[in-house]
Amino acid sequence: MNKKYYITTPIYYPSAEFHIGHCYTTIIADAIARYKRLAGYDVFFQTGTDEHGLKIETKAEEANVTPKEYVDKIILNAKDLWASLDISYDYFIRTTDEHHYTRVQKIFKTLYDKGDIYKGEYKGLYCVPCESFWTESQLIDGKCPDCGREVNFVTEEAYFFRLSKYQKKLEELYESEPEFILPVSRKNEMLNNFIKPGLEDLCVSRTSFKWGIPVDFDEKHVIYVWIDALTNYITSLGYPDETPEFKKYWPADLHLVGKEIVRFHTIIWPAILMALDLPLPHQVFGHGWLVIDGGKISKSLGNYKDPREYINTYGVDAVRYFALREVPFGSDGNFSESALITRTNADLCNILGNLVSRTIQMAIKYFGGVIEDKKCYEALDEDLLEATKDLKNKVDKKMDELKINEALDIIFDLLRKCNKYIDDTTPWSIAKDESKLDRLETVLYNLMEAIRVSATLLQAFIPSTANKIFAGLKIENNNFDNIYHKTPKYVLGDEKPANLFERIKEN
């Protein structure tokens, strides 16, 4: 049986239309999911939407529609966006799904019956836009540490999750699983800023708004945010029912999350799972943010476009490639249209597109498109042949470490080598000598094999381009099992394929 791999994105708030920042996480999750599928894993890739809460209730009121109507429209658009970005999710969970709804109620009741949830009174500081409670010591200059806005003092009857009880177990988890949180800097932040100072019990219900899942044994309360949101990762698989999906896919292998929600995924989520006696996810990766001009991407600042505009103008793989390649995974990075154009021209057009088109054109021109390995090697080939042979191992290693941008850079290193190989071997001058046709064919074959191997890996990152390359080479797509099965004979026909990327004019 194939090994399983369960990967998730956060479930996004459909309080406004999605922007390039949401695309960032989802594209990365998609590339990892595709990579694992190509490697033969039975992958379950989940994304979705986190639809409850005061913010959405308020937005819907402002728009004069019901909360459900409000979110339905955004989700329709989000699904369209994911389709235009070639996002290959296996399951899209909505927290308004009936299954999720009833399963969350059961989970809440189980925790209550076990004494891990109790009724008390909440007195504290609350940030409405972030839907987060804060302690005095967490505030920065008296304001919400996440968004910098005012917090309000509130008192209300509420249910609490006994988070404090799990302090020691969490410390042990961090100790025994050093790679539970990546990058390591985020782990230290969690430990030093949140766990070591002492965990407080967590407010998990609200009475001040209605748009949420009611506590079924105390209907005045709605289940508030984290027990509703975080449990999406298990309710989608059927939990608390013992479904085959749950047995197969849980625990998750990787929760990909933005740095601002690492805390919830590495403190609250494991504690809830411990309380439910469930195994913990293997890893939570907290990535950085895409920023615009150094600041947050924000609807109110009006500093972003619908990502579909970029896709329509530059193509889906220009956007995917930018998200995957531009920023070291884990750090913040700047997004701008001009950086997107520069990256597309430099890598996709000049390195990849040119190489594929030059190689295919030469194969057609000199051999009518029929190329076999004539094994007429020279010392000059060594570097390219070795690099082709090593490519998958090197990329695998980077992917295991979730160094996505470096994985791509290694593939592009090989493509750069191919371009240099053309410059060094100068096929057009070999072609002048009739006696050297076998050598010329070998050079082209070496190039085509390097392109094929690269395209096999590129399927995870820029799948539609990789498909075009396979179509241009007139071969079936490879997966990782047959990546090193050499193509016995390329038969391209005599029609020159369209360019993979057109150069974009820089303003």
Distance CA 396, CA 93 (A): 30
Which residue do the tokens 């009174």 mark?
Answer: 121
Q: Residues 22, 12: contact at Cβ < 8 Å?
A: yes
Among residues 268, 272, 278, which one has the least CA distance to residue 247? 278
Q: Residues 224, 217: contact at Cβ < 8 Å?
A: no
Q: What phi-psi label fits residue 48: left (phi over 0), alpha (psi between -120 and 50 degrees) or beta?
A: left
Which residue do the tokens 């009475």 mark?
Answer: 207
What pairs with residue 268 in β-bridges?
Answer: none
Q: Residues 283, 37: contact at Cβ < 8 Å?
A: no
Contacts of 381 (CB under 8 A, 6+ apart): 421, 442, 443, 446
Of 6, 7, 21, 362, the one binding ligand MSP (CB under 6 A) is 21
* Axis crossing angle, helix 316-325 with helix 463-473, rounded to the nearest 10: 120
Residue 482 beta carbon to ligand MSP: minimum distance, rounded to whole angstroms: 34
Contacts of 314 (CB under 8 A, 6+ apart): 340, 341, 344, 504
Residues 1-20 that bind ligand MSP (CB under 6 A): 10-13
CB of 257 or CB of 355, closer to ligand MSP: 257
Q: State yes or no: residue 257 binds ligand MSP (CB under 6 A).
A: yes
CB of 111 or CB of 450, closer to ligand MSP: 111
The letter for the amino acid at 457 is L
Distance CA 320, CA 86 (A): 9
Residues 123-182 that bind ligand MSP (CB under 6 A): none
Residue 75 beta carbon to ligand MSP: minimum distance, rounded to whole angstroms: 12
Of 24, 122, 329, 445, the one binding ligand MSP (CB under 6 A) is 24
Residues 35-94 that bind ligand MSP (CB under 6 A): 50
CB of 222 or CB of 349, closer to ligand MSP: 222
Residue 357 beta carbon to ligand MSP: minimum distance, rounded to whole angstroms: 34
Q: State yes or no: residue 430 binds ligand MSP (CB under 6 A).
A: no
Residue 231 beta carbon to ligand MSP: minimum distance, rounded to whole angstroms: 8
Residue 55 beta carbon to ligand MSP: minimum distance, rounded to whole angstroms: 10
CB of 23 or CB of 363, closer to ligand MSP: 23
Residue 290 beta carbon to ligand MSP: minimum distance, rounded to whole angstroms: 4
CB of 49 or CB of 205, closer to ligand MSP: 49
Residues 275-304 that bind ligand MSP (CB under 6 A): 289-290, 297
Residue 81 beta carbon to ligand MSP: minimum distance, rounded to whole angstroms: 13
Q: State yes or no: residue 408 binds ligand MSP (CB under 6 A).
A: no
Residue 473 beta carbon to ligand MSP: minimum distance, rounded to whole angstroms: 35
Residues 331-370 that bind ligand MSP (CB under 6 A): none
Distance CA 186, CA 263 (A): 9
Q: Residues 163, 202: contact at Cβ < 8 Å?
A: yes
The letter for the amino acid at 212 is G
Distance CA 467, CA 473 (A): 10
Contacts of 98 (CB under 8 A, 6+ apart): none
Helix (H) or strand (E) holding 447: helix 437-458
Only segment of 22-30, 74-82, 105-113, 407-415 that touches ligand MSP (CB under 6 A): 22-30
CB of 289 or CB of 321, closer to ligand MSP: 289
Distance CA 486, CA 299 (A): 50
Q: State yes or no: residue 22 binds ligand MSP (CB under 6 A).
A: yes
Q: What are phi and psi of 7, to 5 degrees?
A: -125, 140
Among residues 208, 194, 318, 331, which one has the least CA distance to residue 268? 194
Residue 375 beta carbon to ligand MSP: minimum distance, rounded to whole angstroms: 49
CB of 319 or CB of 500, closer to ligand MSP: 319
Residue 348 beta carbon to ligand MSP: minimum distance, rounded to whole angstroms: 22
What letter would DSSP give residue 487?
Answer: -
Of 107, 222, 261, 448, the one binding ligand MSP (CB under 6 A) is 261
Q: Residue by residue, what is the 3-state secondary structure of 254-307? A: EEEEEHHHHHHHHHHHHHHHHHCCCCCCCCEEEECCEEECCECCCCCCCCCCCH
CB of 144 or CB of 410, closer to ligand MSP: 144
Residue 181 beta carbon to ligand MSP: minimum distance, rounded to whole angstroms: 14
Q: Residues 496, 478: contact at Cβ < 8 Å?
A: no
Q: What are phi and psi of 109, to 5 degrees?
A: -65, -40
Only segment of 145-153, 200-208, 226-234, 431-439 that touches ligand MSP (CB under 6 A): 226-234
Q: Residues 259, 287: contact at Cβ < 8 Å?
A: yes
Count, residues near ligand MSP per rule CB under 6 A:
19
CB of 255 or CB of 452, closer to ligand MSP: 255
Integer-rounded Cα Rg, in Å, for the chain is 26
Q: State yes or no: residue 229 binds ligand MSP (CB under 6 A).
A: yes
Residue 161 beta carbon to ligand MSP: minimum distance, rounded to whole angstroms: 15
Only segment of 27-35, 73-81, 185-193, 228-236 that touches ligand MSP (CB under 6 A): 228-236
Residues found near ligand MSP in the complex (CB under 6 A): 10-13, 21-22, 24-25, 50, 229-230, 232, 257-258, 260-261, 289-290, 297
